[in-house]
Structure 1
Amino acid sequence: MRAVVIRGFGGPEALEIADVPVPSAGQGQARIRVEAAAVNPVDLATRSGALTEAGLLPARDLIGIGWDVAGTVEETGPGVAGLAVGDRVVGLSDRLDVPLGTHADQVVLDADAVTRAPSGVGAVEAATLPLNGLTAVQALDRLGLRPGETLLVTGAAGAVGGYAVQLAVARGLRVVAVAGAADEALVRELGAELFVPRTARLGEAVRALVPGGVHGALDAAVTGAAALDAVRNGGSFAAVVAGGEPLPLRGTRVFTHWISADGARLADLVTLVEQGELTLRVAGTLPLEEVAEAHRRLAKGGLRGRLVLVP
């Protein structure tokens, strides 16, 4: 089968379509035929060597690429319950140090990282949900805000930020969205009550709308101290990108959220998709062979939604 791998770090040219053996599902695992797999910033950081420089990924001869997957179960290993051959599923590979990722014809995942795919939704759209949706919902869980409180979401028009806006609104939070001026209509459609252009001085602009500052912030755009200045004393701040954590000034609780594969939590997100409370956004599709072009397009920025590879 084909799989996207790297044998050395570098630009998009470092990506290789390798011919590798079909993996087998082991204890507690499922093998999935990949129908679609999203391309995320973590894939670019893996390929470039940035994660290795940060001490997150040991150097090895062969590294697989890809976290998100939507597809069909082809094999289950011993001890797997709730999944059967032929099931349409979505799942997440959250380990960095692996020889094969989801950018492949088939992938093996732990069964508890997989859940049924949303009904009435194609594989391309479904593949955009696991990594970005789980990042948003898990960060919101840790922020622990109560209904009626205010949340600042930076990068609100992006993949993680867009999910965060909708999930926060579903929890009864008032959302202040930060995005480009051209994206104001989009983030308001997602449910944001208040809007601040990303060119503004965040602390001043947000506090003019929310006297005293917001109760919490989810910083998907890596604005760091600028977004922290908009948070009231003793509030909470979630960074979702490595290196984006500012100092915990004024008694704020600051943390970086690291994603964890969770099939049960992913199932909750699938239900929200089916209920129309969570919007899946696809920026474009490319065949697996054009993975290098997908990396170039993502690196340029400006996408709304995720690029998705189709084997």
Structure 2
Amino acid sequence: MKQEIINFIEFTNYQDKDNNRDLNMYICGIEECKSEHSWGPGVRDHFLIHYVVKGKGKFIINKQEYHIGAKHGFLITPDTVSFYQADQDEPWHYVWLGFNGLMAETYIKRAGLNINNPVFYYAGKELEEIIRKMISLKEINSTNQMMLTGYLYQFLAYISKAQTQDKGKHISKNKYIKLALDFITHNYFRKISIEEISEYIGLDRTYFFTIFKNEIGVSPQKYLINFRINQACKLMNNTDLSIAEISHSVGYQDPLYFSKLFKKEKGLSPSKYREFKIGV
């Protein structure tokens, strides 16, 4: 019999929601999720930060979907509908903490996070270590409360430092994006994958996905599809190539699959598009 994999959770709930402090810890924990384990859609009444130690999943907030992998974290803001789910094949293992307070939003902004930029990258082990230290403080007294608050400041400070360093690398990000766009421009006509592009430019696939979507506004896969479809339109407008020949020319070996993608993007089949545009 196949043994069912269940979530492993270790957490501490501090049961103190006194928001008259600058920062106030609510809860923190560690969780190894089972396949496709999810939460939501729903809202929280406090700030909640997850940091993925390994595995991957998806996160949806403000009608935007993010694919989150190891060494990435995501922010849930109060009173905002969100949803997150572990991957089917590589379910994530993450740590989390929830907090609020008079200065909570200010410190979140200083860390470079907000509802429109809820994902961050952190390469070190400090965030996980801080959560483990927090969990160990199960007895809440005045001394441990000060230690908890100190750990919370450290947690946010590490994220803020990483985000500040990341801003300093903005030129490097632009370089990576340009390399990716150039690669697509010169290779769209053959079978290429996002993994191949990320390997070519020398970035982790998840990190590449994140910075590409943040800079360009769409995922790398979506950009590649749009680029190929636009190239197909140019060929239909300026050549006598058949639909099958155009499909092969823009990287799709299956003309039927190409036609389905084309209709999804343009609202017309390739043949109807050609008739409408140039009356052929």
* TM > 0.5 fold call: no
TM-score by length of 2: 0.22
Which structure: larger Rg?
A: 2
Higher strand share: 1
TM-score after normalising by structure 1 = 0.21
